[in-house]
Amino acid sequence: MAVLAPLTVSSLLLGSVALTVGSAQAVPSATCTVKQSTQANKFNVSGKDFKPGKTILVEGGNSTATLKANANGEFSVTDFFPAGEVTAVQIGGHSVTCGTVKQTEQKDAQNQYRMGYRQGVADTKADCKKNAPKQGVAALDPNYEKGYNAGAAAVLASALCKG
């Protein structure tokens, strides 16, 4: 018993130290995206939720840019020439994968579809009639319109509007 007691106490102490160290290394919420620029073969890379005022290294293929996050923890670099995937590393912090232009476009398309679907459901549920999507100042995104039509069709085919 005399030998086991110190071992138990020391393992409990080590366990609490391990928990403290693990929680200090939480994954940051920083994100970044890559979008095609209006200029041919150039890209815009932007990020948010980085530590304000700290230096960020943006890398993509043979291209690099060094800049500081603004007071809101955001950054933007234009005229970037990435080859493949882009990453942003905050000096002394974690690396964040920004992805590629294609990945950003796919994510934007999915978000537009989801927003359209939700709105199509809401508009159709009100009176069980398919309405045209409401257009704002800008032209409707084709993915939003597809989502809207799919949401409206789902409601019209449901028991909610049959009866």
Sign of the CA dihedral running 3, 4, 6, 11: positive
Q: Residue 3: is its pLDDT beyond 60?
A: no
Q: pLDDT tens-digit profile of 55-64? A: 999 888 778 8
Which amino acid belongs to residue 89?
A: V
d(CA 106, CA 148): 18
pLDDT (0 to 100) of residue 71 = 93
pLDDT at 138: 63
Residues in the chain: 163
What are the pLDDT digits (tens) for 100-154? 777 777 877 788 888 888 988 988 888 888 777 776 656 778 888 888 888 888 8
Contact (CB, 8 A) for 69 and 15: no
Tell me the per-residue pLDDT of 5-49, one tens digit each, with 9 for 90 and over: 444 444 433 343 333 333 333 335 888 888 877 777 778 888 999
What's the predicted TM-score (pTM) here?
0.51
Predicted pLDDT of residue 6: 45
